[in-house]
Structure 1
Amino acid sequence: MLSQKVAQQSLRRLAVQQPYALRWSLMNAASPAAIALGRNIQTRQAATSSNSSDPTKLLAQQRLNRPVSPHLSIYRPQITWIGSSIHRVTGLMLSGSLYLYATAYLASPMLGWDLGSASAVAAFAGLPIIAKVALKATLAMPFTYHCMNGVRHLIWDLGVGLTNPQVIKSGWTVVGLSTISALLLAFL
């Protein structure tokens, strides 16, 4: 019990007072008792003022002087990160709508709704042509994009097309092919 307490105190002392001393002492195999007593500890002069005795205040002050990481607003939008974001959003849209429809379909007998295929076909048949095409395109675009981009990722898993020009070209190819295929599905 006493040895554990000595070891804990020595590690705490090292972590607060001299962060590099722990690594140095472990490399030189100093015992915890020697560390606790202050022997065999590498010392260095701190480049701080003498009036700051609290290490937590010193660390807080040093953090204020560190550079801030750049934000996304300084970067030019690229097809790679936009495509990755859209792929995730379309996956959420497709799975979310599936779960929502499946839940409504299971609850429909209790609520008195008719969500069968016959009622869906009848409701869709009553729409004007422009509404039909718009609805089909709205449903087809996330599906086709997610499908085409999924194939792109499978090709990447093979180790093909991973250079920057190839990634940019395949990104725009996915956008073009998914738009064309969504429009073809909408006009069928």
Structure 2
Amino acid sequence: MMSTRALGLGPSLRKMSLTPSLARNRLIVRNVATKRAIQTESLPPSAATEILNKQRLNRPSSPHFTIYQPQLTWIGSIANRATGGALSALLYGFSIAYLVAPGTFDSTHVIEFVTGLPDAAKYAGKALLAAPFAYHSLNGLRHLAWDMTKFITVKGAYSSGYAVLAGTAVSTVVLMLM
């Protein structure tokens, strides 16, 4: 009884308990029926499309990434997916080419082809292979650190992001000079 006094429900509960159930049910039905009256209207199917189009104009649109200021976290995520896709496409492409023409894509022919290239083309090719590999590998380590709940603050995400970029630059140069 203490809780009913604190909430002020005492008189209402006494009134409901003393009212006969038939009168109580009529009271509930009358209150609910009057408060929840709904009007319906029969419309042709073309009107439904018009109503839907009008509602869509009033809805707020979902913000697109082009309206946001670029941030290291989402640019890094996009770059990680792109480098992973590019490395996978290269691996599958070379594997399928080797299966289709093993005589053309064996290691001897590939080495002979690369030795015939000018030095600038060799370094450019190494850079095109080394940069995505280094970035994707280092960013994968960053994600493993996040899985272990390291660097998950905003400051930690940015510092690890810049460390991945610096490590990518150094690793790319080292791999190019090998």
Q: Show the counterpart of 2:68.
A: 75
The structure carrying a bigger helix percent of its residues is: 2
- Tell me the distance in 1 between the aligned counterparts of 2:171 and 2:37: 67
* Alignment CA distance shift 1:77-1:89 (3 Å): same
Is residue 178 of structure 1 aligned with residue 168 of structure 2? yes
Question: Normalising by the residue count of structure 1, what TM-score does the alignment of the two structures yield?
Answer: 0.67
Question: What residue identity is the alignment partner of 2:138?
Answer: M
- Tell me the distance in 2 between the aligned counterparts of 1:149 and 1:103: 28
1:55-111 per-residue CA deviation (whole Å, 9 max, x = no partner) reads 9455543332122222222100111111101111111111111111111101104xx
- Tell me the distance in 1 between the aligned counterparts of 2:174 and 2:119: 15
Q: Give 1:86-125 correspondences, 5 Å limit.
A: 86-109=79-102, 113-125=103-115
TM-align CA RMSD: 2.6
- Tell me the distance in 1 between the aligned counterparts of 2:37 and 2:137: 59
Shift of 1:140: 0.7
Q: Give 1:1-188 correspondences, 5 Å limit.
A: 43=36, 54=43, 56=48, 58-109=51-102, 113-188=103-178
Shift of 1:130: 1.6
* Alignment CA distance shift 1:43-1:96 (3 Å): same
Question: What residue identity is the alignment partner of 1:146?
Answer: H
SS at match of 2:101: helix
1:110-161 per-residue CA deviation (whole Å, 9 max, x = no partner) reads xxx5211111111111222221111111111111110000000000000111
From the CA coordinates, give the structure whose radius of gyration is larger. 2
- Tell me the distance in 2 between the aligned counterparts of 1:143 and 1:73: 27
1:27-65 per-residue CA deviation (whole Å, 9 max, x = no partner) reads xxxxxxxxxxxxx6661679xxx9x76494555433321
- How many residue pairs get aligned? The number is 143
Q: Show the counterpart of 1:6.
A: none
- Tell me the distance in 2 between the aligned counterparts of 1:82 and 1:69: 19
- Tell me the distance in 2 between the aligned counterparts of 1:107 and 1:58: 57
The unaligned stretches of length 5 or more in structure 1 are 1-39
